[in-house]
Every structure is written in structure tokens, then in C-alpha cells.
Amino acid sequence: MTSQRTYAGLLTRLASSAAAHLPTQRQAGRIPGQVRSVHVNEPIDGVAEACAIVSYGPRCRAIALRLEGMDGRWRCTVLQLL
């Protein structure tokens, strides 16, 4: 579950990525991502800020996100792929 702004950002990023890579160019032996570490901080009640390091073979990426508790569920309000 994401906020509308976060979802729109994901759609924009997906569209630009799809334009750069044709679907037929998928790599058959693509290595799936592996989560290396996760850190979570709770700055205030009902808010969690997390970051994770994900490796894809020899390369790594960082992911940062903010989750806010709403109606007993977590909602992602910020998501950044670094």
C-alpha cells in the first residue's frame, strides 16, 4: 500500500526504465536481488523509516522508505532507490 504520490513516482520510474530496455532484451540468466542488510528506525509512534542494501551479483543498491501506520496497516509514503 502506497500513497498516491509514491505510486505515481514508481509508475514514472517504471515507464522510463521500460523505454530504455525493450522487453525482448531480458537477460535469461539474470541474478535475483539478495537483501544484505536492513535497518529500521522509529522516529515517532506510528512511523518507521527503513533502509536496505540489496545486491545483484557484484553490484549493490540502497533502498530507503518511510512507512506510516494508518488504520492498522502500514502505508509507504516515501520510496527511494539509490
> What is the predicted pLDDT for the residue at 21?
60
Q: Phi and psi at residue 52, in whole multiples of 5°?
A: -140, 150
State how many domains the chain has.
1
Kind plus residue range of the DSSP H or E element containing 81:
strand 73-81
Stated pTM of the model: 0.70
Identify the CATH number of the domain in which residue 47 sits: 3.10.450
> In which residue are the cell numbers 529500521 written?
40
Q: Which domain holds residue 21?
A: 4-81
> What is the predicted pLDDT for the residue at 64?
96
Task: Give the separation between CA 76 and CA 63, rounded to whole angstroms.
Answer: 13
Which residue stretches of the chain have pLDDT < 70? 17-30
